Chains A and B, each alone.
Chain A
Amino acid sequence: MTKPLLSAQGITKRFGDRVACRGVSFDLWPGEVLGIVGESGSGKTTLLNCLAGRLVPDEGAVLYETASAGTVDVHRLSEARRRLLARTEWGFVNQDAREGLRMGVSAGANIGERLMAIGARHYGDIRRTASDWMQRVELGLDRIDDRPTAYSGGMRQRLQIARNLVSNPRLVFMDEPTGGLDVSVQARLLDLLRGLVDRFHLSAVLVTHDLGVARLLTHRLMVMQGGEVIEAGLTDQVLDDPQHAYTQMLVASILPV
């Protein structure tokens, strides 16, 4: 592969007078998992939303190498094309699973809906694929007809992941996917995500404030402070040999167990 899958070029986003992120550039290559770390308010979620086409940056461009239609400028696509891209080639895992799921329909329908959106019509096939994915994310098949309202937080998050991955996306955006979950539930989810990323050779951009999550799941890290990327590199380089004062402070702040 000679081209990056995703290329951010000078992304700047302002809200009024406040600059949420400034001049962010990077290339994401196929099979890479890039982590964006930093404290609350550092601009990482804003950046993620710009990358995924959910927010329009004030400056800069996001280029995406599609599976079959060449390179596209994400923010110059029509709304319809961008939605199609988001449904077919991308996934987006929200911190709050309620935002990424339809709470009023069954788990099976949540997974099946994504399939129908990309053209699946045969009920038996959809049901079978949904069942496979229930098992892959370690949800009991006896819960397939339950609504996510009857699920625990960890189960909802696994269902959201199944809903996103069922359509075989090439690129997944994740915003604090383990945030707000109990530690034991987090470990299970991390392990699951790690396995899925490997198995399906996914590329991903993962926002987290948890350096332990970043260590386990990402190949590369960008550290953000005040809307700017202040340090970047291989994950183990950034965490074991942090260069910037802010990164050193973040790494030194991890509580030993």
Chain B
Amino acid sequence: MSPVLRVSGLAKSFVMHAQGGLELPVLQDVALDVAPGECLALVGPSGAGKSTLLRSLYGNYRPQAGSIRVRHKDEWVELVDAEPRLTLEVRRQTIGFVSQFLRVIPRVATVDVVAEPMLRRGASPEEARRHAEFLLGVLGIPERLWSLPPATFSGGEQQRVNIARSLISDYPILLLDEPTASLDVANRDGVIDLIRDRRESGAAIVGIFHDVAVRDALATRLHTVALPGVRA
């Protein structure tokens, strides 16, 4: 399969103005390709820039140089320095991101939090709700919680709500930042199954998995990330 995500020459540093303009180079000349059905695991010590790379791929962090091209609606689009509305459109249709933390919206019921991305892609409210309930069930969120806002849920429950929200749309490209970080083994295995299904049905996945068992279960390739000047 030919790649749907191509990164080349990517560079990202952070300039800390409160520290007298201290510059922290994090990514330098990063290159990678990911094809449908692949799961590329980013590996490297803590602080090596794995999350920075992942967030750059989502257009959340702004690289200084290089190229991130994604296959979006049968065309290649460049995400580095893209117009905001193009990045939003790519996020709506093509790239999903599973973060470690759920950014809770006050007062919105869990089932609606999960259904929202599918609604935004044009699904009917009934279809989106049905799919949201299905995912919440698979992920072991008790039905009595579905109509409550997730603000008061445990960390593990919030994370599973977050995963359901991120997986409800069939994004061709998925970015995963520690998707199983605060889950127990049973729930972890449920999440692994869902993500493996996505991979096998052709999603291109890039992820950070500190849990070796999760990485072994999902990754088809490893990509080592190291700070500039540090030998990988």
- Say yes or no for B87: interface residue by CB 8 A criterion: yes
Which of B17, B61, B87, B103 is A249 in contact with, Cβ under 8 Å? Answer: B17
Q: Could you say which residues of chain A place their CB within 8 Å of the CB of B105?
A: 191, 194, 216
Tell me which residues from 101 to 140 in chain B have a Cβ below 8 Å from any Cβ of chain A: 103, 105-108, 120
Q: Flag whether A99 is at the interface (Cβ < 8 A).
A: no
Partner of B107, one of A187, A198, A215, A245: A187
On chain B, the number of residues with a Cβ less than 8 Å from chain A's Cβ atoms is 20
Contact A240 B55 (CB under 8 A): yes
Note all chain A residues with C-beta closer than 8 A to B15.
243
User: Which residues of B have CB within 8 Å of A234?
Assistant: 59-60, 84, 87-88
Chain A residue numbers with a CB within 8 Å of B17 are 244-245, 248-249
Q: Are B107 and A233 in contact (CB under 8 A)?
A: no
Tally of A-B residue pairs with Cβ under 8 A?
Answer: 50
Are A240 and B60 neighbours in the complex by a CB distance under 8 Å?
yes
**Is B1 engaged at the interface, CB distance under 8 Å to the other chain?**
no
* Residue among A191, A194, A215, A236 having the largest count of chain B Cβ atoms under 10 Å: A236
The interface residues of chain B lying within 8 Å CB-to-CB of A216 are 105
- Say yes or no for A197: interface residue by CB 8 A criterion: no
Digit string of B124-163 for contact with A (CB within 8 Å is 1, else 0)? Answer: 0000000000000000000000000000000000000000
The range of chain A's interface size is 20 to 34
- The DSSP consensus for interface residues of chain A is helix
Q: Determine if A188 and B107 form an interchain contact, defined as CB atoms under 8 angstroms apart.
A: yes
Q: Using Cβ atoms and an 8 Å threshold, which residues of chain A touch B62?
A: 233, 237, 241, 243
Q: Does A190 contact B (CB under 8 A)?
A: yes
Report the minimum CB–CB distance from B37 to chain A (whole Å).
Answer: 29
| 4 other A-B residue contacts (CB within 8 Å) besides A190-B106, A240-B61, A241-B62 | A234-B84, A241-B14, A248-B17, A249-B18
Residues of B within 8 A of A (CB): 14-18, 55, 59-62, 84-85, 87-88, 103, 105-108, 120
